[in-house]
Structures are given as structure tokens and as C-alpha cells.
Amino acid sequence: MKRRIGVYICHCGGNISDYVDVKKVREAVKDEEGVFLAKTTVFACSDSSQKEIIADIQENNLDGIVVASCSPKLHLHTFRSVAERAGLNPYEYVQVNIREQDSWAHSDNPEKATEKAIRLIRAGIKRAIEAKPLTPNEIPVINGVAVIGGGAAGMRAAIELSDTGLNVYLIEKEHFLGGRIPQWGELFETNERGEVLIERLYKEIVKRNNIKIFTGAEVESFSGCVGNFELGVRIKPRFVKRDFNCKDYEKILKECPVEVEDEFNFGLTKRKAIYKSYEKAFPEIPAIDKENCTRCGICEKLCPESFDFNQKEEKLNLRVGAVILTTGFSPYEPKEGEFGYGKFNSVLTLQQFRRLMELSNGELSYNSKKIKNIAFIYCVGSRQKDGENKYCSRYCCTAAIHTSLLLKEKYNDIKSYHLFRDIRTYGKQEILYRDSCKNGDIYLKFDESNPPIVEKNGVDVSVKIKDILTDGEEIEIIPDLVVLVTGMIPRENGGLEKIFKVPVGRDKFFSEIHPKLRPVETVINGVYIAGTGQGPKNLTETILSSLSSVAKAYSLLSSGTLKLEPIVAIIDEEKCEWCGNCDEVCVYDAIEKKSENGKEVAVINEALCKGCGSCVPVCESRAIEIKGYTNKEILGMIDGILKEVNR
């Protein structure tokens, strides 16, 4: 049957036509086999042109179109929809890129550019001739989302997902929810306390019966494909019953013989083997730390009804349609001796200092010394030229400045010195910076190559800085406490990046597909990232990203089914001999071996296949093709390109 293909050559204003002689191109392609009409157009993507193309298709019964214009990245979907609106199958449309790949690249040689355009369009026409209509596969999806990490980002996401009607599994590695936020005390701008915010989120969560919380739970395995994932989860025993109701809890706390470093207070205090991360931690029942408990039995003796030492590690499988990773951050731990950390008593990290503030009432003292002068050293563990953490941790400048404002408010007679590299109190946070200056806080600036020196000075420490703002002069401060303003590193998560195959950047944070346009999606379809596990953020930004990951998950799962891109690999079972070559090269694990009519062949999981094409060339039996890029299409395109162009 003779084909009726319409070809449109776009000027793109002058972006194309200034270098490519579009008239000549039209002349050269209009009589190609299968071409019914060929036109030039000033802006193919404009409304009027779209209408014209639709009219052409309908009036002339065109059975395929080729638009030679910009990159398909820009307008593939525009013209696919034009085809669709005119009654064609969208895959009967072929886009030829003569802008990025031609006119812009060869603006120095219009003649050759014109020739190249002709060849590319001929290739496009050949492809259009061979193109087959394709229809997206629709698969049902599971109504359920696993949120991994029960900090602020995860909790917020859970609530919002639940409100969209999706079932939520909130999986937290620790025995308590809340993550880092309750450790912080007052948060800037509202001065609300972290644990109060967490309490609000928790109360919302328990109101909803489609959220299931798992604490002490870690993901071990992950399989399946977008819309139909399977997670293997391992849950540590808590040894405390759900209906924990023990009047002697206080007494148990006293008598439990095991004391370990309290990670909630960053080692400033000790806790027992039975503990709550903080008094009002959620869930409200305590937990027994399996690793450190000696099974002495004191607790059980006092409240036999509340404990159950027979609890075993549990394993369960969850089936979900999407996953959100909200694994959070840990503060950077300075190296031994870094700015005197670990060497001098009076050197703490900002996070430890915030705990110290929380733990002290009335007067602020450390090691029984009253604190009057504090030197904050900024960018510790961030923005390292030679170290691993090249990034700015974003929140620490503001956090340190906010801390100094709180100090002024609470103790008044405390003097803060800020030894900074640059102050990055972007946005509204600038106001905190101004207020701190007005309070009389003193700012001194150093360069990374000339960091402040923390030394012993009698009983105290002295901090010496070559202050850039005072002509590089060396200035000395004798503080009672040195606070290292440490940045963020991704929180230890038991290797989730390997389990989920979600790539991490050089900075070890999860990486998104595109930092601006697709900030919460990962290369694994259906797996989203949010919060500080993706990179440093303050709480506002964390919640923003958490909510946008919810929006993505919801739009994926809301209709109950999923349309899959039809451009995937297809196996010719006759030819396939199962050599396994394709399986080896497929990074998306989309190929499986199956026995079909007594013969072992490769089968494509269409939900996982990205149509990348890696498997095609390795198949010696030529059993694999990619729909939309079949061998016929590709060979046709080569013919089109090679055909002589008359000058």
C-alpha cells in the first residue's frame, strides 16, 4: 500500500532557517517515496501550525507524520498529541532534530547543514514508513506506599499519603519516631520546639487507620517493578508489650544495671538499656535495647505484665506501589583533634551544645563552669576543599545564629563570637543574622586555608583567628566553650542505596534525576526521595520535598492502573536460544529466563524495561528488538541517511 506521509520543516523563527535552507530541504524530500505532502512552517509548535497539521492529516488521510524541528526533549509530546488528536497513533509520528543536532551545531557551514538536514529528514521518513502503531500497556498497581524513615519528612509524607486514600507503611529503624527534630529544642522562625512538632505529627498519624507504623524495622530486600514492589522488612524485638502499663517504670529506670552512651544527647549523658529516646517520645512505650540488655530480669520482676522477652525478630513482606526514602541526616562528627574536638573538654559540636542547652535549667554551665563566652566555628565538615564534603550544609549558619539569639534571650549575659567563612542565611533567615548583629554578637571571618586555631591556654582554651575583616590580623578570643558548627552527612541506613539501587552522589546523599525539574524522583521508577537523605535541608525545605514526593507517588498510583511506555524490548521466542547475554547487560533487571513450550527463552518484564536498547546488540540470535526502534526502522533510517544529496 502506498504510504501517505506528511513532512513539516520548521524554521524555528530563524533558529533553523538562518543556517538551513529550508526551501531546498523541502524540495529534496517532497518526492521521497511515501511522502504525500511536504511543507515548511515558521513555528511548527504554534497553535495555528498544530491546527494546520491536524487538518492536513484529516483532509488527506495521512498515515504518518514527520516534523523536522527541535529536540524531541522539547516537543515530542506536543506532536505526538497532535497526531493523536488527528486520529493517528502517537507512535506514527517521528520527530527529526534539525536544530540542536544541525543548525545550531553547524551555524558556520550552512551548506553542509542543509545537506545534513536533508539526510536526517529522509531517515525520519524511512522510520515513519516502518513505524507501527503502539499502545501503552496498562497494569494494575498496589494501593500502598512504603515510607522509609520516620523523621519529620517521613511522618509528614505518611499523613498526606493517607489523606489521598493510599495505605501507608511507615518504617523506622529506631524504636522511636521523630528523627533528628526532637533533639533540637526551639526551631527558628517560630521558636516552636522540635518535640512539639513531632507530637503534632504523631497525633495526626494515629488518627488515621490506613497508616501502619513499624519501629525498630529495617528493609532487607526490594524487588518487583513500579506499581508492584515487594519489600522484605526485619523488625527487631522491643521486649516491651504494646499495652505497656508499668507503674514502676521510674524505679526500673533506676535499677536497670546497664548504662550506655545516650545517642539522643550525643554522648553528653548516659541512658539505661530500657529507655525512651526522650521523655515524650513516640510510640509512648519504652524499648529495651537488645544489644545491651543483659536479661537480668529486674524490669520483668517489677512489671511482669509489661514485658515479653520471648519476642523474636520478625520478618514480613510488604507489597506496595511506590516507596519514599526519607532516611535523614546525621551531624558530621569532627575528627579527633579537629579544632580541638575530643582533645579539649570545652569543645562541643553545635548539636551537642543544643542538647546541653536543653539539659540545663537556670544557668548554662558545662563541666561545672559557667558559660559566658562562646566561640562558634562555622563550616566544620562542610565546604571542604580537600575533604569529602564539598557541599554547604545550608542549615548550619542559620542554626548557629539562631542558637546565639536563643542564648541572648535566655541568659542575656552570654557573648557569642561567630568565626565564619561566609554567612549563608538566605531568604528570611537573613533577619536572624541582622538581629544577632544588633545583639552585639561579634563576627570574624576566616579562609579555609587559614582556619582558626584552638589551643590550650592555662585552664581555658584560646582561639586564634586571622580575621579577614580586620586586614587579616590575628585576633585572640578566650571562650568558655568552643562550639563547632557541624554540617550534615547522610544518616547511616544499612545500605539502602544498594537494596533499592538508587544512586548516591559523590557526597553520599541520594541523587535525584534532575535537581531542578525532577527533584524527588530517582532513576528507579516509583522510588522517591525526600528530606535530608537527599541533601542538606532545613525543616521547611524537608517538608516541601516530602510533600512533593507524596504528590509524585499519588499521581503514580491514584488511578489504580499504570500506563507503561510501549517502547520496550520484545523477544522473538522462535529465535531466542537463552544464552543469557541480554540478562547480563540489562541494568534494570528486566529480563528473566522462562520455560516456554519446553524451551528456555528470555522474557521481558515490560514494567521494568526502559527500552534502553543495551540488550539488542548482544543477542547473537537477533531475537531482540525494541518496539519503535525495530531493525527495519533503523536500517531504513540508515538508507535514508546514505542516499545521495544533489547539490
Partner 1 sequence: MERVNPDFSEKIKKYGAFDISACYNCGNCTAICPLSTEDNSFPRKMVRATVLGLENKIASSLDPWLCYYCGECSDTCPRDADPGGLMMALRRYQIRKFSVGRISDLFYQGFSSFWAWFVLTLLGVLGIFFFKNNPDMKEIKPLSFVSLNVLHDGGIILFVFLLVVSFLQLLLMLKSIKLTKKDGIGIKAYLNSFLEVFFNEVLSQNKFSKCENKKRYTAHLLLLWGFIGLFLATITVMLFDFFFPANEGIRIIPKVLGLISGIPSLYGVSFFLWYRLKKADKYFRFSHHTDWIFIILIFFAILSGYLLDILRWSSAVKIYYFTFAFHLIVVFELILTFPFTKFAHVMYRPFALLLADIKK
Task: Count other C-beta atoms under 10 Å from residue 37's C-beta.
Answer: 14
Binding residue for ligand SF4 (CB under 6 A) from 612, 621, 628, 643? Answer: 612
Query: Which one, 24 or 501, has the nearer CB to ligand SF4?
Result: 501
Binding residue for ligand SF4 (CB under 6 A) from 175, 272, 394, 466? Answer: 394
Query: Which one, 275 or 391, has the nearer CB to ligand SF4?
Result: 391
Q: Which stretch binds partner 1 (CB under 8 A): 150-158, 229-237, 433-441, 568-576?
A: 433-441
- Using alpha carbons only, what angle is made at residue 94 by residues 88 and 96, rounded to the nearest 5 degrees? 150
Q: Which does 417 bind (CB under 5 to 8 A by kind): ligand SF4, partner 1, none?
A: partner 1
What amino acid occupies position 438?
A: K
Q: Which does 487 bind (CB under 5 to 8 A by kind): ligand SF4, partner 1, none?
A: ligand SF4
Query: Which one, 453 or 579, has the nearer CB to partner 1?
Result: 453
Query: Which one, 355 or 383, has the nearer CB to ligand SF4?
Result: 383
What one-character DSSP code corresponds to residue 19? T
Query: Which one, 132 or 434, has the nearer CB to partner 1?
Result: 434
Q: Which stretch binds ligand SF4 (CB under 6 A): 167-175, 266-274, 365-373, 388-396?
A: 388-396
378 binds ligand SF4 (CB under 6 A): yes
Query: Which one, 33 or 473, has the nearer CB to partner 1?
Result: 473
Q: Which does 478 bind (CB under 5 to 8 A by kind): partner 1, ligand SF4, none?
A: partner 1
Distances (CA, A) of 124 to 80, 338, 547: 15, 62, 42
372 binds ligand SF4 (CB under 6 A): no
610 binds ligand SF4 (CB under 6 A): yes
Task: Count other C-beta atoms under 10 Å from residue 336's C-beta.
Answer: 9
219 binds ligand SF4 (CB under 6 A): no
Q: How far is the CB of 359 from ligand SF4 (least distance, A)?
A: 24
Binding residue for ligand SF4 (CB under 6 A) from 586, 601, 634, 637? Answer: 586
User: In the stretch 409-438, what mask flags binding to ligand SF4 with x, by CB under 6 A?
Assistant: -------------x-x--------------
CA distance 310 to 235: 14
CA distance 70 to 62: 22
Query: Which one, 481 or 520, has the nearer CB to partner 1?
Result: 481
**Residues 518/314, Cβ–Cβ less than 8 Å:** no
Collapse the DSSP code of 28 into the 3-class scheme (helix H, G, I; strand E, B; otherwise coil) and give the result: helix
Q: How far is the CB of 561 from ligand SF4 (least distance, A)?
A: 21
Q: How far is the CB of 441 from partner 1 (least distance, A)?
A: 8
370 binds partner 1 (CB under 8 A): no
- Using alpha carbons, select from 467, 547, 460 the residue that is nearest to residue 159: 547
Residues belonging to the chain: 647
Cell numbers 487538518: residue: 55
Binding residue for partner 1 (CB under 8 A) from 467, 480, 521, 606? Answer: 467
Q: Under rule CB under 8 A, how many of the chain's residues touch partner 1?
A: 25
DSSP 281-293: -SSSS-EE-TTT-
**Residues 383/421, Cβ–Cβ less than 8 Å:** yes
**Residues 71/42, Cβ–Cβ less than 8 Å:** no
CA distance 434 to 419: 16
Residues with Cβ within 8 Å of residue 645, at least 6 apart in sequence: 28, 115, 118, 119
Check residue 121 and give left, alpha or beta (phi > 0: left; psi -120 to 50: alpha).
Answer: alpha
36 binds partner 1 (CB under 8 A): no
437 binds partner 1 (CB under 8 A): yes
604 binds partner 1 (CB under 8 A): no
443 binds partner 1 (CB under 8 A): yes
C-alpha cell at 71: 529536540
Q: Which does 331 bind (CB under 5 to 8 A by kind): partner 1, ligand SF4, none?
A: none
471 binds partner 1 (CB under 8 A): yes
Query: Which one, 325 or 626, has the nearer CB to ligand SF4?
Result: 626
**Residues 562/583, Cβ–Cβ less than 8 Å:** no
Q: Which stretch binds ligand SF4 (CB under 6 A): 301-309, 379-387, 498-506, 515-523?
A: 379-387
Taking CB under 6 A as the criterion, which residues in 588-607 touch ligand SF4?
588, 590-591, 604
Residues with Cβ within 8 Å of residue 523, at least 6 apart in sequence: 502, 503, 513
Q: Which does 477 bind (CB under 5 to 8 A by kind): ligand SF4, partner 1, none?
A: partner 1
523 binds partner 1 (CB under 8 A): no
Taking CB under 6 A as the criterion, which residues in 487-526 touch ligand SF4?
487
Q: How far is the CB of 395 from partner 1 (least distance, A)?
A: 20
At 129, which helix (H) or strand (E)?
A: helix 110-130
Which residues are bridge partners to 629 per DSSP?
626
147 binds ligand SF4 (CB under 6 A): no
Cell numbers 566561640: residue: 375
What amino acid occupies position 66?
A: V
- Using alpha carbons only, what angle is made at residue 550 by residues 549 and 552, rounded to the nearest 5 degrees? 65
Check residue 564 and give left, alpha or beta (phi > 0: left; psi -120 to 50: alpha).
Answer: beta
Q: Which stretch binds partner 1 (CB under 8 A): 144-152, 202-210, 415-423, 446-454?
A: 415-423
Distances (CA, A) of 15 to 10, 117, 308, 357, 572: 9, 13, 74, 62, 43
Residues with Cβ within 8 Å of residue 362, at least 6 apart in sequence: none
Footprint of partner 1 on this chain (CB under 8 A)? 415, 417, 423, 433-434, 437-445, 464, 467, 469-471, 473-478
Footprint of ligand SF4 on this chain (CB under 6 A)? 378-379, 382-383, 392-394, 396-397, 422, 424, 485, 487, 568-569, 585-586, 588, 590-591, 604, 609-615, 626
